[in-house]
Amino acid sequence: MEASPVSKEWQLKWILLGLTLPLYILDQWSKFWVVANFPEPDPGKFSAGVERPVIEGFFNLVRVHNQGVAFGFGNGSDWAPVVFLAVPIIALVLITLGLKNNFFFGNWGKVAVGLLLCGIFGNLTDRLIQGSRLSYMEGAPLWDRLKAGYVVDFLDFTIPLVNYRWPSFNVADSCICVAAALLFFSGLKADLQKKEPS
């Protein structure tokens, strides 16, 4: 009886080139397009309130400035811009340690790493750059511009059956969510394989 073929391991560098880099470019292009085509919110505001329907009652394009984390937690606080500049660096250290210790299981675990890196670098780029591009921050000291940094959220969905408006998000956020699901299922698969009798 023939042994089942061993699946080929995907090289992380090809995942980074073929998945992470294109998604990062898409993330940044879409955010710069939104910033160029939607009005800038007034100082202290997170949105100018402009919506452009794509699918009426379901999907809009918006421009929301998110200085916090998921669902806008931390928006407007003094601590959020500083803390969330540090979080991506911590995440990168943890990913590096995870790769060295084979924490990411199989090919789908590597895809999850590629998606996580896109999400981290996509939103970190926003925090470093977008605050400096605000009209009222022109000529401000670097530290003030960094503190004004924000993530551009623009995908706005309403769940019709319950009429719930999901907090706006972006491509990088989507990558992080898909990566979390892949990590869960790849870890579960690895755990089940360990329990199988040899």
Q: Given this model, what pLDDT does residue 1 score? A: 44
Question: In the beta sheet, which residues pair with residue 47?
Answer: 64
Residue 189 CA to residue 108 CA, distance in Å, equals: 10
- Whats the size of the chain, residue-wise? 198
25, pLDDT greater than 70:
yes
Q: Where are the domains of the chain?
A: 19-193
Residue 94 CA to residue 22 CA, distance in Å, equals: 23
Work out the pLDDT band at 196, boundaries 50, 70, 90: low
Look up residue 163 and give its amino acid. N
Average pLDDT over residues 153-158: 96
Q: What is the mean pLDDT of the chain?
A: 86
pTM of the predicted model, to two decimals?
Answer: 0.86
Annotated catalytic residue within 27, 126, 156, 173: 173
Annotated catalytic residue within 27, 126, 153, 156: 153
Q: How many Cβ atoms are within 10 Å of 157's Cβ, its own excluded?
A: 16
Question: Which of 34, 40, 137, 35 has the alpha carbon at shortest distance from 81?
Answer: 137
Q: Given this model, what pLDDT does residue 4 score? A: 47
Q: Give catalytic status of residue 27 as yes or no.
A: no
pLDDT tens digit sequence for 80-98? 767 777 888 888 888 888 8
Q: Give catalytic status of residue 173 as yes or no.
A: yes
